[in-house]
Amino acid sequence: MPPLIPRAAALSQPWCHSCSTAPSLLRAFSTTRYTLKYGPESPKFIEVPQPLQSRPPPKRRIKGILPVPREIFARRRPTSLTPEYFAKVTPEPSAPGRNAELSGEQGEFVAWKRRMAAARRRNLREGLRGLYHRKKQTDRTVAARSAFKTAERQRLLHEPEREDVRLTSPSVHPSLLQFQKGSLPDPNRAQHIAEKVAAVQAKQTEKAEERKDHLHSLYMHARDFITTEEQLNEAIERIFVTHPWEFVDGDEGENIWNTGVPESVATMLSKAAVMEKGSVSQHEGIAVLTDRRVKRIAEELTGGKMDSPKPRR
């Protein structure tokens, strides 16, 4: 084994020809960072001043997802760590078993299994007591924190305005302040409410009467509804006759050639609203107007709809 070279001698001796011939770079004694140790590709090659305030530590990234903890003491059922509860959760062996009389290695194995079962029962009972105690303590802490936050919020809401805020706040008219805080005072509020209630009741009564009127009109018109095949055949035989221009039983019949074109929806609406002012309505006979007025008077007296009279010729 060759002899070791002393450290001072090894540092003083040049290792290559270029190193021995290159000029020595001497650095002055200073606390300034030596930037030549970073290459041009390094982001630290150009020194950027850092702020005096320390940056917050980076948030540690925890990989993976923790499972949701099991709710041991559910709220939907009462929890009481009583001996009966422990007897159901960790039952004791009911009988010694068939292997109770074994000896030797088998007996030692059976005894070891019994000791392990007893240890599991004991650990489960102690664990349940500890978890229950921790749950109660956590519930008390959460309730105390919630009560403190609620009391603090109520205190801040009802806290009087500070003097500096009152003196520096802009001037606002008291009426605007009252409007911002809530509704304006109304000395006749009870009377206005009674009037609104009466108006609503009158509107509901009017709607109920209109609904009854429509129901009665439907009942009156339901007598002419065609619901069976016999009624359909009878209506066809009555309307589609061989000689429509002839009279049927002293009447002109229900054929369209005799009764004319049926009224349109616009015509019926205009008659109901008394908005039609055409030449036909102006020259309408007095008998038609009289029949219409009599029919309306009869409906008002009887409280229901009546059949429309047949037009006079």
For the chain, residues with pLDDT lower than 70 are 1-36, 95-102, 182, 184, 243-260, 272-285, 308-313
pLDDT confidence of residue 11: 47
pLDDT confidence of residue 43: 84
pLDDT confidence of residue 66: 83
Phi first, then psi, for residue 221 (nearest 5°) are -80, -15
Query: For the chain, first and last CA: distance in Å?
Result: 147
Provide CB contacts within 8 A for 267, sequence distance 6+. 276
Instruction: Please give the Cα distance from 304 to 291 (Å, whole number).
Output: 17
Q: How many residues does the chain have?
A: 313
User: Could you tell me the CA-to-CA distances from 85 to 71, 118, 119, 298 in Å, in that order?
Assistant: 17, 17, 18, 83
Angle at 284 between CA 281 and CA 285, to 5 degrees: 160
User: Could you tell me the CA-to-CA distances from 94 to 8, 90, 97, 297 in Å, in that order?
Assistant: 84, 12, 9, 96
pLDDT tens for each residue of 151-175: 999 999 999 988 998 888 888 777 7
Instruction: Please give the Cα distance from 303 to 217 (Å, whole number).
Output: 11
Q: Which residues on adjacent β-strands are paired with residue 248? A: 251
Burial track 86-113 (b if 16+ CB lie within 10 A, e otherwise) = beeebeeeeeeeeeeeeeeeeeeebeee
Cβ contact 124:90 at 8 Å: yes
Provide CB contacts within 8 A for 304, sequence distance 6+. 213, 216, 220
Q: Which residues on adjacent β-strands are paired with residue 251? A: 248
- Bin 250: left if φ > 0, else alpha if -120 < ψ < 50, else beta: left
pLDDT tens for each residue of 75-119: 777 777 888 888 888 888 876 666 666 677 888 888 888 899 999
Measuring CA to CA, which residue among 112, 87, 85 is closest to residue 99?
112
Cβ contact 257:244 at 8 Å: yes
pLDDT confidence of residue 9: 46
pLDDT confidence of residue 284: 63
Instruction: Please give the Cα distance from 227 to 246 (Å, whole number).
Output: 29
Instruction: Please give the Cα distance from 301 to 158 (Å, whole number).
Output: 65
Percent residues over pLDDT 90 in the chain: 21
Measuring CA to CA, which residue among 14, 31, 10, 32 is closest to residue 23?
14
